[in-house]
Amino acid sequence: MQAKTIRRWSFVHTWTSLICTLFLLLLAVTGLPLIFHHEIDHLLGDAPELKVLPADTPRLDLQQLVLNAQAHRPGEAMQYVGWDEDDRNGVIAIMAATAATEPNASHTFMLDARTGEVVEMPSANGGFMLTMLRLHVDLFAGLPGKLLLAFMGLLFVVAIISGGVLYAPFMRRLDFATVRHDKSRRLRWLDLHNLIGIVTLTWALVVGLTGVISALSDLVIAAWRNDSLTAMVAPYRDAPPLSELAPVSRVLDIAAEAAPGMQPDFIAFPGTRFSSEHHYAVFMKGSTHLTAHLLTPVLIDARTLAVTAVGERPWYMDAMGLSQPLHFGDYGGRPMQILWALLDVLTIIVLASGVYLWWVRRRAAVPAVEMTR
């Protein structure tokens, strides 16, 4: 590689890294507890606990659970009903002032499907873990914060690629994984910076790209609403507003018949951003680690309970669904969590050492410039 080309790549790597480093350090630090969010919730006592009942205890009718939720928060609108990943007896309810209220202003709690009792979920509505999540997702700034982090993620990807390009000519005269302990501190850190960077390169690219996709989730959902959802509910464009909703008792059975071999992930009630003003949208998922993150919406008329559409999944919704488990490493159990945490710590070292190397080089350059005057 020619010296001029190396200087260009070095310029790109230096400045893309410096611009995004502060934000990437924040994301890496906040992402570390999010990898173990279930464990931390239990440690802090924020994890919802259901009563221990006989395994054959029958579950209540879904409509009864909805009524219990509405009685718990009277005057609010039901937005979503879902199921706890660890215990299907835990029914998660999300309510807000109106169905269209934005997610950060909603209230999340759990219902015991067998007794109908309400169990609060502190970590879903405040506290340490929600603070970490909001800092990681949008910096408490909503869509502008997400777009800023998406841009920083793109710079991070460019920094990774440019660092990989520079690694080959840098290591031309050294064996792989060489750390020159007999040299200056700056050179030792440079060797470590390059070694850790090249070892974690693939993982960092995956996390960076999936982070960008996740940060653009609001735009992805808006595109789905304007494209797929609008087409599916077109016959209801001029329909009068609903005066009353049909009970949701049979909604899951209806959705299962429309999407055989799949199981429900959550129900979006009329008026939410995942549904229309006239439909229950039951989002169905597969049973494997991969297909469990690929959701198929079944639209059910909220007055007649007739299935009006089974949506096809656009590629960008699949990309968003797959990006989140890859980003947080929560699809492979405890070994994957530990691996993701170790790689996260190594990334923090790479980011911090990059700033250190730039600062040391900058300080060394100042006296040299003054001597030439």
Domain extents for the chain? 3-38+137-214+333-371, 58-120, 217-328
Amino acid making up residue 342: L
Instruction: Answer whether 0.95 is exceeded by the pTM.
Output: no
Can you list the positions of beta strands (E) in the chain? 77-83, 90-96, 107-112, 118-120, 263-268, 279-285, 296-301, 307-310
Contact in structure between 262 and 296 (CB atoms under 8 Å): yes
CA–CA dist 184, 168 (Å, integer):
22
Contact in structure between 351 and 31 (CB atoms under 8 Å): no
Residue 370: its pLDDT value, please?
A: 45
Residue 185: its pLDDT value, please?
A: 83
Strand order in the sheet with 90-96: 118-120, 107-112, 90-96, 77-83, 263-268, 279-285, 296-301, 307-310
End-to-end CA, the chain: 33
- The whole-number mean pLDDT for each consecutive block of 10 residues of the chain, a chain of 373 residues, reads 83 93 95 90 85 93 97 97 90 97 95 96 90 95 96 96 85 73 83 87 94 95 95 94 94 96 96 96 89 93 97 91 84 83 94 90 61 45
Q: What is the DSSP string of 330-349?
A: -SSHHHHHHHHHHHHHHHHH
Q: What share of the chain is helix, strand, coil (3-state, %, to 5)?
A: 60, 10, 30
What tokens does 225 get?
């609403």
CA–CA dist 192, 353 (Å, integer):
8
Residue 367: its pLDDT value, please?
A: 55
Residue 65: its pLDDT value, please?
A: 97
Residue 373: its pLDDT value, please?
A: 46
DSSP 172: G
Contact in structure between 283 and 258 (CB atoms under 8 Å): no
